Structure 1
Amino acid sequence: MKNKTNINQILQNVIEKITPPPSEKLSLDKTLLKFETKIKPELKKYGAKIFVGGSLAKQTLVKRDTNYDVDIFVLFPYSKFKTKSLELSKFLEQALKHAEIRYTILKGSRNYFQVKFKNVTLELIPILAIKKTSEAINITDISPLHVSYVLSQIKKNKKLADEIKLAKAFCYAADCYGAESYVRGFSGYALEVLVSYYGSFLKFIKAATNWNTKEKIIIDPKHYYKNEKKILEEMNEAKLHSPIILVDPVQRERNACAALSYETLKRFIEKAKKFLESPNECYFFKEKSDIEKLKNIAKKSKAKFVILKAISSKNKVDIAGAKLKKLYEFLYFLLKKNGFKILKSNFEFDEKTLEAKFYFILNEPPRDYIVRGPPLSVPEKYIKDFRKKWPAAFIKNNQLWAKAKRNVSNVSQLLKTIPKAQLKEMGIEKISL
């Protein structure tokens, strides 16, 4: 009973810390009203309306230390624009221009627009105003229906909004939040559906600790399918690669957890188990890598501690993050290939500066090393081939060996082996120690 009381108190404290204060919410609402007032006359020409989406609309917004990002869907009348779906971005761009609003074009299934307005970053997404999923021409057309579903769940359970905030904060701190390819975690909507399904944050993570990751975890909140076998048979195969199959309550053919990777799920389950064993507020607040702690680990292990910084040439968060994560994985591969022993590593990405930091604790390979050749019992051809490559080869215990020197024995040398053209092709502007 004491542990339960302790957890409940911790969760209540966290809710108070992650819920935006009324003054922030009021300021945000005023900013959005000013923006709507500015663009509304231009949207009216198309019969289009603004629909605020995302966490703000669903009442599941988590307090941020930085400026807020808000999704704004611009709804174009279905009957008038259903045959002009590909032109919606063009119409919205014209409205922004005529309203004299500065914007950045972001590429997507339909181009959308980022606007820095006052102290808020707005993302304007042009969509068709649909009433049912079958009318959707683009996946983004369904977004307002997701908002309606979550709000309907919160209406049934008033505490649900806070429970969802807890799940979002927990997953963000554990590097499990976001469907972007550099995270491959739970999207905000997936967490909203999961917490709604289980009824609370605690019930959700307790259930997660009992999931068998060796089998598909199948959840169908609205019981669209007769059984799990039917889901696996009828759902698009491309949607079934993730460890969790979460049937979207709004769109039965969609897996809301399709982006989730096995690695991220295992990390989430591990964090959930640790929290339940030893509840603490620290599990809900992300901390940057502790440099001194990492240095001490390296010192105790008699290893090198290396920090690499990299910046992507891409200006869209998810693309930049994906490029930098691929670079991190590429460097990890190169280090291993060149004989470095990696004891610990970590990837850290700043969504505001689009800069990444790669942390490595590693043992550098020795400059001199011995190459093992073929035994003398093999056909003469292989003996000659080895001696041709290693003229100073010697025999020991009926085996050929050769002394060699590495071209790369530290990280600085390794970085110099990567051609600038290759980095450019990878979408990397700069990498440095």
Structure 2
Amino acid sequence: QTIAYAEHPYVKVTMDNINVDVVPAFKLKDPLEAETVVDRTPFHTRYVISKLNEKQKDEVRLLKKFMKTIGVYGAEIKVSGFSGYLVELLVIYYGSFKRVLEAASETWKPGVVIDVERYFRKKDLPKITRKFQNQPLIVIDPVDYRRNVAAAVSPKSMATFIAASKTYLRNPSELFFFKVEAKPTLAEVMELISSKPYDYVFVLFPIPKKPPDILWGFLRRSVKGVRSLLEKFGFNVLDYDVWCDEREYGVFVFELESEKISDFVKSEGPLVFSEPNSSRFLSKYVDSELTIAGPWIEDFKWVVIRKRKFNRASSLLKERLLEHGVSHVLQEHLRKTWFKVLLKDDLKYIVEMVGDDFLSFLRSFVRKKPEWLRI
């Protein structure tokens, strides 16, 4: 057994090859007294049992399987999707698997409010959307009206569910419930990557030992930070993502228009009458070794053609990743350990380090088109 941490410590045990989380909670009479998410769980359980009939329980199972296959089932940060409780509430509210899909296809838009127990009146909706701003799907908790059960659902997960629902209703198929594609080989993924007209850069690193939600939280923030670093220095990032086995290794993946760009760039400066910015710009570039041409004036602005500090993405990341890219937690960890910046020709080495599961992730990342859209 091991001790893990979320809002408070809990115990993870394995019994007969089954992983079990033993999570303590306060025994309360009123769910509004809950101090943690777990404190509400008994109230959630009693509510769902009281509302679902036997047929609807099968509808819930069907909806969960559908969501799992399209990759949006799970409220953990890694997925940022639909929790089991949220799925149950959707079936309770709409009545069936098909009706949930129909509603998502026809009526869901960012800011949609689903109030299962009708705590609020129509005139209250603007106030609710303000309270839960930046949360695209709002589902009022039947046992605690102050809480949005769908708070974890990201825009991408909500949009994916809407699009997959439309596709399924147009062309129902068992393939929405079963992944049948075999795991790819290294040769297949290498061939797929080589067929693309752009470049790939990978950052391989050992991960710190943290609970999954904490780990995925700073990995997501870090990969966004590294993307911003690349864009700041003139690299066009087409797409990016992060893979992690939650045990030993993580990999940042960047799809770039080109890993190598020109040695120079035209930089736009301040307005000529903007001080002290104008004087600072001239002090920086007049007679500078970085200046290739200029400074000169275009319209009312100073411009200059200058040498780039970095024209290779791999060189930039090797030198600046820890200074300007990753979160503080990961930065401190990598300073004590290591990281490697690698290119597509290094894919075999990456797979040897992290295992074959990375290949399935990478194939999906490179393809872009989800499996359900190919049905």
* TM bracket, shorter-chain basis: 0.7 to 0.9
SS at match of 2:266: strand
For 1:161, the equivalent position in structure 2 comes to: 57
SS at match of 2:6: coil
Query: Structure 1 residues 354 and 372, CA, compared in 2 at 3 Å: closer, same or farther?
Result: same
Task: Tell me, yes or no, if the aligned pair for 2:230 and 2:313 is still in contact at 8 Å.
Answer: no
Match for 2:293 among 394, 397, 409? 394
Is 1:278 the counterpart of 2:171? The answer is yes
Distance (Å, rounded) in 1 between the aligned partners of 2:268 and 2:132:
48
Using the TM superposition, give the Cα deviation of residue 208 of structure 1 relative to its aligned residue in structure 2, in angstroms: 0.5
Distance (Å, rounded) in 1 between the aligned partners of 2:88 and 2:268:
59
What does 1:143-292 align with in structure 2 at a 5 Å threshold? Answer: 143-154=41-52, 156=53, 158-214=54-110, 216-225=111-120, 227-230=121-124, 233=127, 238-285=131-178
The number of equivalent residue pairs is 325
Task: Tell me, yes or no, if the aligned pair for 1:236 and 1:253 is still in contact at 8 Å.
Answer: no
Task: Tell me, yes or no, if the aligned pair for 2:75 and 2:152 is still in contact at 8 Å.
Answer: yes
Task: Tell me, yes or no, if the aligned pair for 2:59 and 2:97 is still in contact at 8 Å.
Answer: yes
Is 1:366 the counterpart of 2:261? The answer is yes
* Cα deviation 1:30-75 (Å, max 9, x = unaligned): xxxxxxxxxxxxxxxxxxxxxxxxxxxxxxxxxxxxxxxxxxxxxx
What does 1:113-124 align with in structure 2 at a 5 Å threshold? Answer: 113-124=11-22
TM-score (norm 1): 0.64
Query: Structure 1 residues 266 and 364, CA, compared in 2 at 3 Å: closer, same or farther?
Result: same
Query: Structure 1 residues 307 and 373, CA, compared in 2 at 3 Å: closer, same or farther?
Result: closer
Task: Tell me, yes or no, if the aligned pair for 2:66 and 2:176 is still in contact at 8 Å.
Answer: yes
* Cα deviation 1:289-330 (Å, max 9, x = unaligned): 967776556544421134444443133111111122222212
Using the TM superposition, give the Cα deviation of residue 409 of structure 1 relative to its aligned residue in structure 2, in angstroms: 0.8
SS at match of 1:112: strand
Distance (Å, rounded) in 2 between the aligned partners of 1:288 and 1:324:
28
Match for 1:342 among 223, 228, 237? 237
Distance (Å, rounded) in 1 between the aligned partners of 2:282 and 2:205:
45
Task: Tell me, yes or no, if the aligned pair for 2:62 and 2:97 is still in contact at 8 Å.
Answer: yes
Using the TM superposition, give the Cα deviation of residue 151 of structure 1 relative to its aligned residue in structure 2, in angstroms: 2.1
Distance (Å, rounded) in 1 between the aligned partners of 2:323 and 2:282:
38
SS at match of 1:258: coil
Using the TM superposition, give the Cα deviation of residue 376 of structure 1 relative to its aligned residue in structure 2, in angstroms: 11
Distance (Å, rounded) in 2 between the aligned partners of 1:374 and 1:144:
61
Query: Structure 1 residues 219 and 391, CA, compared in 2 at 3 Å: closer, same or farther?
Result: closer
Task: Tell me, yes or no, if the aligned pair for 1:174 and 1:271 is still in contact at 8 Å.
Answer: yes
Distance (Å, rounded) in 2 between the aligned partners of 1:375 and 1:193:
55
TM-score (norm 2): 0.72
SS at match of 1:218: strand
SS at match of 2:218: helix
Match for 1:327 among 197, 204, 222? 222
Task: Tell me, yes or no, if the aligned pair for 2:116 and 2:140 is still in contact at 8 Å.
Answer: yes
Amino acid at match of 2:42: P
SS at match of 2:68: helix
Distance (Å, rounded) in 1 between the aligned partners of 2:72 and 2:85:
13
Query: Structure 1 residues 370 and 340, CA, compared in 2 at 3 Å: closer, same or farther?
Result: closer
Question: What value does the CA root-mean-square deviation take over the aligned residues?
Answer: 3.6
Distance (Å, rounded) in 1 between the aligned partners of 2:45 and 2:18:
21
SS at match of 2:26: strand
SS at match of 1:129: coil
SS at match of 2:14: strand
Using the TM superposition, give the Cα deviation of residue 219 of structure 1 relative to its aligned residue in structure 2, in angstroms: 1.0
Is 1:140 the counterpart of 2:38? The answer is yes
Is 1:414 the counterpart of 2:310? The answer is no
Distance (Å, rounded) in 2 between the aligned partners of 1:219 and 1:416:
49
For 1:316, the equivalent position in structure 2 comes to: 211
Q: Which runs of 5+ in 1 are unaligned?
A: 1-102
Higher mean Cα deviation, 108-117 or 127-136?
127-136
For 1:104, the equivalent position in structure 2 comes to: 2
Distance (Å, rounded) in 1 between the aligned partners of 2:132 and 2:296:
56
Using the TM superposition, give the Cα deviation of residue 164 of structure 1 relative to its aligned residue in structure 2, in angstroms: 1.7
Task: Tell me, yes or no, if the aligned pair for 2:221 and 2:326 is still in contact at 8 Å.
Answer: no
Distance (Å, rounded) in 2 between the aligned partners of 1:420 and 1:116:
41
Distance (Å, rounded) in 2 between the aligned partners of 1:327 and 1:288:
31
SS at match of 2:19: strand
SS at match of 1:252: strand
Distance (Å, rounded) in 1 between the aligned partners of 2:102 and 2:132:
26
Query: Structure 1 residues 329 and 392, CA, compared in 2 at 3 Å: closer, same or farther?
Result: closer
SS at match of 1:328: helix
Using the TM superposition, give the Cα deviation of residue 119 of structure 1 relative to its aligned residue in structure 2, in angstroms: 0.7
Structure of higher RCO (CA pairs closer than 8 Å, 6+ residues apart): 2
* Cα deviation 1:315-358 (Å, max 9, x = unaligned): 3111111122222212222222222222333444445x364444
* Cα deviation 1:125-149 (Å, max 9, x = unaligned): 1122334424545442220121222
* Cα deviation 1:388-425 (Å, max 9, x = unaligned): 44575435986664341432513354133223898583
Distance (Å, rounded) in 2 between the aligned partners of 1:197 and 1:394:
66
Higher mean Cα deviation, 298-307 or 279-288?
279-288
Query: Structure 1 residues 417 and 122, CA, compared in 2 at 3 Å: closer, same or farther?
Result: same
Identical amino acids, percent of aligned pairs: 27
SS at match of 2:143: coil
Task: Tell me, yes or no, if the aligned pair for 1:390 and 1:402 is still in contact at 8 Å.
Answer: no
Larger Rg: 1
SS at match of 1:313: coil
Task: Tell me, yes or no, if the aligned pair for 2:266 and 2:305 is still in contact at 8 Å.
Answer: yes
